[in-house]
Amino acid sequence: MSEIRVIGAGLAGCEAACMLADAGHKVVLFEQKPVHFSPAHHSEKFAELVCSNSFKADRVESASGLLKAEMRLLGSVCLKVADGCRVPAGGALAVDRELFSAGVTEEVRSRSNIEVVNEEVESIDPDIPTIIATGPLTEGGLAEEIRKLTGGDSLYFFDAAAPIVTRDSLNMDRLYSMSRYGLGGDDYLNAFFDKAGYEEFVEQLINAECAELHSFEEQPVYEGCMPIEKLAKRGHDAIRYGPMKPVGLRNPETGHRPWAAVQLRREDEEGTMFNLVGFQTNLKFSEQRRVFSMIPGLENAEFARYGVMHRNSFLNAPEVLDGTLRIKGTEMTYVAGQLSGTEGYMESAGCGMLAARFLMARLDGREPAALPETTMLGALMRYLKTPNKDFQPMGANMGILPGLKDEIRDKKERYAGYASRALSDLKAYLAENK
């Protein structure tokens, strides 16, 4: 069996290393801690949770619950450990973070065919099968090496993203399809504010609570990436002359130009998700839900992804990965976890398992079989390979799954339908692809 290198003992790296080891491979797992810590990592243990201790909802009829159910079918080590150190958190799977990291570290160390090397890796040997899983704070020599391998401009270091909402959750009676000055057809969904509504919205926006920034994240942001709440604080009309400008738009009901407008742009080809144009934000997620639900038509909006402003290294996956998490132009260099363009703890861990499976298939001389796109993991992999000029990392959400054959109007029943289809398709896939 070939020796395989895994770089980074985070969530993705630990899942990948254990899966490879369990299949009989010799694994060398490189972890820079405790020699070197990123600004957000503090523990010597593996699979450190750098922020929240929640892995989100556990119900299989939710996007994160479905993702976890799929990962359990694939044999996730992180979830096995998580189940053993749960803390009460309503319908969510939250864990005691110390016990969780200790448990995953123990899982890794108990596998005799995993050798752990505490070293900061700065270069990649193209002749050795490797999975790079160094996470969103990858920096230094390794970041430079990844830049070289991926051809220059495809490794991003700062994430200033606007929220994305699912189309299913929008109230279409209050949104209008049109483009400014009628140019570009009906490309955008538009939400219109009158003066009173706009003033109330700005008032809530400027007083909403922001997420805490780490000192390493307090860097100047490009003017074009200014958080909407910061721009709004410059003056009451500032965003009406910026992202909420109403020029070139006419409310078909009044025949007049609205006082202010929010444009929603398609995020994917099918139009299942829309982003709020120019609304990059650092508000807390709960505040985004509260304040942005004041936008007409977004009263019950479901957020496929919240806006974020944080340091986050990730690759422009559709450009530089080949659809199986391998860097294009390389034989055996794979990327997993947040660095590959997935977003979230469990998404990173799940991605680690997939990178291991894809790499093992190639070492066996087989072309890796793609996961069904009806599964959450398969849909995430599809997202990573679909060309997207504004590519941003993506977490599990129902908006990325293909619709059901028969439309189900009730959301709860529809989500249950997505879940049962995903799990039965994944079981069939696993029966065929050991």
Q: Region of 371 please: left (phi>0), alpha (psi -120 to 50) or beta.
A: beta
Task: Please identify, using beta-carbon distances, which residue of 189 and 335 lies nearer to ligand FAD.
Answer: 335
Return all residues near 185 (Cβ < 8 A) that are at least 6 apart.
179
CB of 123 to ligand FAD, least distance (A): 10
Task: Please identify, using beta-carbon distances, which residue of 136 and 372 lies nearer to ligand FAD.
Answer: 136
User: Residue 7 in contact with residue 128, Cβ under 8 Å?
Assistant: no
- Take residue 322 and report the two structure tokens written for it: 């080949």
Residue 289 to residues 41, 95, 153, 166, 382, Cα–Cα distance (Å): 29, 25, 33, 13, 27
CB of 140 to ligand FAD, least distance (A): 7
Task: State which H helix or E strand residue 192 sits in.
Answer: strand 188-193
* Per-position DSSP letters for 224-245, written without gaps between them: GG--HHHHHTT-TTGGGTTTT-
Give the interface with ligand FAD as residue ranges (CB under 6 A): 7-13, 30-33, 38, 40-41, 50-52, 120-121, 133-138, 142, 310, 312, 337-339, 344-345, 348
Cis status, amide bond into 34, omega within 30 of 0: yes
Task: Please identify, using beta-carbon distances, which residue of 206 and 317 lies nearer to ligand FAD.
Answer: 317
Place of tokens 């609205």: 258
Task: Please identify, using beta-carbon distances, which residue of 292 and 306 lies nearer to ligand FAD.
Answer: 306
Task: Please identify, using beta-carbon distances, which residue of 30 and 193 lies nearer to ligand FAD.
Answer: 30
Task: Please identify, using beta-carbon distances, which residue of 145 and 199 lies nearer to ligand FAD.
Answer: 145
Residues paired with 315 in a beta bridge:
155
Task: Please identify, using beta-carbon distances, which residue of 260 and 287 lies nearer to ligand FAD.
Answer: 287
Parallel/antiparallel/unpaired status of strands 26-31 and 3-7: parallel
CA distance 113 to 111: 5
CB of 232 to ligand FAD, least distance (A): 25
Parallel/antiparallel/unpaired status of strands 303-305 and 164-166: antiparallel
Residue nearest to ligand FAD (CB): 10
Q: Among positive and negative, which fits the CA dihedral 121, 32, 28, 55? A: negative
CA distance 357 to 353: 6
Tell me which DSSP letter residue 59 carries. Answer: -
Task: Please identify, using beta-carbon distances, which residue of 32 and 397 lies nearer to ligand FAD.
Answer: 32
Q: Of 222, 235, 239, 248, nearest to 291 (Cα)?
A: 239
CB of 148 to ligand FAD, least distance (A): 15
Task: Please identify, using beta-carbon distances, which residue of 202 and 349 lies nearer to ligand FAD.
Answer: 349
CB of 88 to ligand FAD, least distance (A): 18
CB of 183 to ligand FAD, least distance (A): 38
CA distance 337 to 339: 5
Task: Please identify, using beta-carbon distances, which residue of 338 and 374 lies nearer to ligand FAD.
Answer: 338
CB of 56 to ligand FAD, least distance (A): 7
CB of 163 to ligand FAD, least distance (A): 16
Q: Among positive and negative, which fits the CA dihedral 297, 163, 100, 112? A: positive
- Collapsing DSSP states into helix, strand and coil, what is residue 429? helix
CA distance 87 to 126: 43
- Take residue 249 and report the two structure tokens written for it: 């738009």
Angle between helices 411-432 and 376-385 (to 10 degrees): 80
Phi, psi at 396, each rounded to 5°:
-65, 135
CB of 308 to ligand FAD, least distance (A): 9
CB of 348 to ligand FAD, least distance (A): 3
Task: Please identify, using beta-carbon distances, which residue of 113 and 118 lies nearer to ligand FAD.
Answer: 118
CB of 21 to ligand FAD, least distance (A): 17
